[in-house]
Amino acid sequence: MANRLSSKSEVEKVRSQIRTDDDLWHAVQDLAGITIPRVKVCEDHVAPFTAFADAYFARHRNIVWHASRGLAGKSVLLATLAFMEGIEMGAAVNLLGGSGEQSQRVHGYMTGEDTNLPGTFWGHYGAPRHLLVDDPTKRETKLSNGGRIVVLQASQRSVRGPHPQKLRLDECLAAGTLVSTPEGQFRIEDVQAGDIVHGWDNGGITQGMVQRTRRVGARQTLELTLSNGKTLICTPDHELLTNGGWDEARSCRQGTILQGIRENVKVVAVKEGIRRDVYDITVKDI
């Protein structure tokens, strides 16, 4: 394939040739300026491109990527996947993050907001800019082929309504964290599928049934000391309801107000914690 795509017809030719993994790997380079590694490093892992191709060609109904936090490039890979699905398939893609900020960060890779990725995505000389209906906003990219990439915060409410063809989620609480239930508080590692837990939905107290629990493994954590004498330990990207709305734990400062089920509390101190086993739960209707 040509290294420089100077016309609409050349771009369409590249798109029409995406039939195999090799086709896809070269197309990602030509259209997005991204080179995805094809070498497997760990014996029980797969190469990043293998995981990418499996998702692109939908070889499984549900696909989960597991890789090291902050170093593996999962969010960039997710942005590349959404980009290719939009321009090549004309697909409607919803990008979901643990917070609106997290989702916008993934979309921002495509719009050139990350200075570590110059000349990629829509800033790449081979990008099919003729497909853009308008300049991408912080929350949406509309394409003339029917494709649409939309930024949403991950929640049951945010994905109700028209269903996209592609749903992409980018995203925990340390062992021992207490989860509020109608029967009292329980450690997160003791919560099971089918349990009812309390939570927040658009600012109101609600409850929902746990659909899935997952031990994520050892992750870097933050420790938030609270005005009620307790300490909240979570991953830096864990979403918390503050007096200013939903935000990641890493954004909390001394004086930040956290809204709770029984009381609001103030953050007294924030410090980097140790690596701990963390858990994630999926709850219906929260």
- Length of the chain (residues): 286
CB crowding 59-95: b at 16 or more within 10 Å, else e = eeeeeebeeeeeeebbbbbbbbbbbbbbbbbbbbbbb
Q: Is the pLDDT of residue 163 over 80?
A: no
State the chain's mean pLDDT as an integer. Answer: 79
Is the pLDDT at 168 greater than 60? The verdict is no
Quick one: which of 73, 80, 70 has its CA closest to 168? 80
User: Roughly what angle, to the nearest 10 degrees, separates helices 100-110 and 74-89?
Assistant: 60
Q: What pLDDT is recorded for position 6?
A: 42
Cβ atoms 10, 82 nearer than 8 A: no
Signed CA dihedral, 123, 125, 128, 130: sign only: positive
Q: Give the separation between CA 73 and CA 68, rounded to whole angstroms.
A: 9
255 has a pLDDT exceeding 70: yes
Give the tens place of pLDDT for each residue, 99-117.
566 677 888 889 888 888 8
Domains contained in the chain, CATH given: 8-170 (3.40.50.300), 173-283 (2.170.16.10)
Q: Are 141 and 112 in contact (CB under 8 A)?
A: no
User: pLDDT class for 30, splitting at 50, 70, 90?
Assistant: very high
